[in-house]
Amino acid sequence: MFGLCLAFGGGAELVQALVGRSPSWGDFWLDVLGTSAGLSLYLSSLSNGPLRWICLLLAFALMWIDLSTPLRVHWAENQRQKQFPVLADFDNRWLNGFVRAADTARWQAVPPPVAWRGHDSNVARLDQFPGDWPGLHLFEVEPDWSNYTVFSFDVFNPSQTVARVTVRISDIAHNHMYPDRFNRMYKFKPGAQHVEISLDKVRSAPRTREMDLTRMKAVIIYTYRLNEERTLYFDNIQLR
């Protein structure tokens, strides 16, 4: 029975991939925990003495772990909604949970470089290593952007060379093809810069449709086929 439940859970995630949705192995892990908790509880009813208590304790421990994950996700989403229209400021650890490095990059929240004036709290340090698209990925963003007109962020380039960076913005309906999203390449000179993107341009970016600003999904700021190591700093990724 345990194997059947796991096979069903894993099969459900694989089917999602076949129908165009993203499989969530986090959901599969929750299935494993829930099934294990149920099995432990069942075994406790068949056992006596110390083994019964061991099975009961194991069942309740697994149920707590299983329930704590969706509770943390719910709290993080609640904090994300409260901070909106800020998408990432790198001071809020719950918002930071919706940020990850893309491809070969690494990121961390750090104090700003001394030369970046006007930024007193944490910023994102993005270390890019040679790769196809190393960058900063904001995933599962607050979805409804329809009441705003501009997407903006601050960037600091500490090197003495120009950094070429692409901003990619997509909605939930994105088919993962290049023409079906917003893409724009920027050249960041040494020092501090501020970037503003009209959401009208984001809306009209897909070739065969309009992007749905009520169902936004992700922002990726990356470099295409980078062949050298580089560091950039980002802050105040937000709408207005």
3-state secondary structure of 31: helix
Answer yes or no: do 64 and 108 share one domain.
no
Measured CA to CA, the distance from residue 201 to residue 222 in angstroms comes to 19
Answer yes or no: do 78 and 58 share one domain.
yes
Answer yes or no: do 119 and 186 share one domain.
yes
Domain finish residue from 54, 83, 112: 83
179: DSSP letter:
G
Domain finish residue from 21, 54, 83: 83
Selected residue with higher pLDDT from 78 and 63: 78
Answer yes or no: do 96 and 17 share one domain.
no
Mean pLDDT of all residues in 185-190: 98
pLDDT at 5 over 50: no
Measured CA to CA, the distance from residue 204 to residue 182 in angstroms comes to 8
Predicted local confidence at residue 186, as pLDDT: 98
Predicted local confidence at residue 12, as pLDDT: 45
The bridge status of strand 123-128 relative to strand 106-110 is antiparallel
pLDDT at 203 over 60: yes
List the structure tokens of 20.
């165009």
On average, the pLDDT of the chain sits at 86
Answer yes or no: do 10 and 72 share one domain.
yes
Of the pLDDT bands very low, low, confident and very high (cuts 50, 70, 90), residue 2 is very low
Predicted local confidence at residue 57, as pLDDT: 77
> Which of 94-98, 151-155, 189-193 is least confident?
94-98
Domain count, the chain: 2
Predicted local confidence at residue 75, as pLDDT: 78
pLDDT at 195 over 60: yes
pTM of the model: 0.75
The domain in which residue 161 lies consists of 87-239
Answer yes or no: do 24 and 143 share one domain.
no
Predicted local confidence at residue 44, as pLDDT: 67
> Which of 9-23, 53-67, 165-179, 206-220 is least confident?
9-23
Of the pLDDT bands very low, low, confident and very high (cuts 50, 70, 90), residue 19 is very low
List the structure tokens of 200.
């009208």
Residues in the chain: 240
CATH code assigned at 111: 2.60.120.430
pLDDT at 39 over 50: yes
High-pLDDT (> 90) share of the chain, %: 65
Answer yes or no: do 17 and 108 share one domain.
no
Of the pLDDT bands very low, low, confident and very high (cuts 50, 70, 90), residue 54 is confident
Of the pLDDT bands very low, low, confident and very high (cuts 50, 70, 90), residue 100 is very high
Torsion angles phi and psi, residue 145, rounded to 5: -105, 10
> Which of 42-51, 76-85, 155-164, 176-185 is least confident?
42-51
pLDDT at 119 over 80: yes
Answer yes or no: do 114 and 229 share one domain.
yes
208: DSSP letter:
S
